[in-house]
Amino acid sequence: MTFPRITDSHCHLDFPDFDEDRDEVIARAVASGVHRMVTICTKLHQEPQVRAIVEAHDPVFYAAGLHPMSVGKAAEVTVDQLVALARHPKFVGIGETGLDYHYTAETAEAQQASLRVHITAAQETGLPLIIHARAADDDMARILTEGFREKPYACVMHCFSSSAELARAALDCGFYLSMSGIAAFPKSADLREIFAAAPLDRILLETDSPYLAPPPHRGRRNEPGYTRHTAEVGAKAFGLTLEEFAAATEANFDRLFAKAAAWRAPT
């Protein structure tokens, strides 16, 4: 069976969940049409391990930053560190960064400072910012918008599952919304409506694997090859065929992650 080409714009291939079969997981993804994956490093001391995965697998690219839930626990990240990492030919994004007040509200002020560091790095490198947002919509919209007004930058709201108001604030800045397995859950009709109301040219696909597996794999380990299931749900939300929706999200990824789109494997 032939599947349309799609990209998993956000996964975590370095996580221990994949230690036993990482190569097989990547191969399965490619076999299911997922020809590119962006694996996300959430703490900079893990960057060498993430880079090693990327350098061993042509379809895999990476981004790095300090996850907001690790602020105050892991070492702070500097603009200079992120700019230096951006010199790698397969380093294609800044983050994930953002705000999470659901589990870690006690570090809200430090999270905001960290977010601003990542915004500056995105502005300096021209690479897209990758945002994690949970239970912090007002501060998130304010900080992202303030930074954009100071100096425009590109951004994707990863695993978007926030309010229509935050979606609108992001879209007003020209940012992208990424559709994860959450959008495929049966009870996510309201979220699918938010996506369907957005411009088609601002939608990406992702798994956030090993988390948030879409049906029919919900409750089990997620992996990049399952991006196709979310793509099928997204196509229905937009009233498109799977092939049409896949082509649109591919064009969107290429536009936002231009460095990944331009990369060619050494011969």
Point out the annotated binding site for a divalent metal cation.
Answer: 10, 12, 96, 132, 158, 208
Please count the CA atoms within 13 angstroms of the CA of 227 that sit on its side-chain side: 36
**Helices H, strands E: what count in the chain?**
11, 8
- Residue 63 Cα distances to 149, 251, 256, 258, angstroms: 24, 20, 13, 13
Binding residues: 10, 12, 96, 132, 158, 208
Q: Which stretch of DSSP H or E encloses residue 167?
A: helix 164-172
SS3 26: helix
SS3 154: coil
CA angle 247, 248, 251 (to 5 degrees): 85
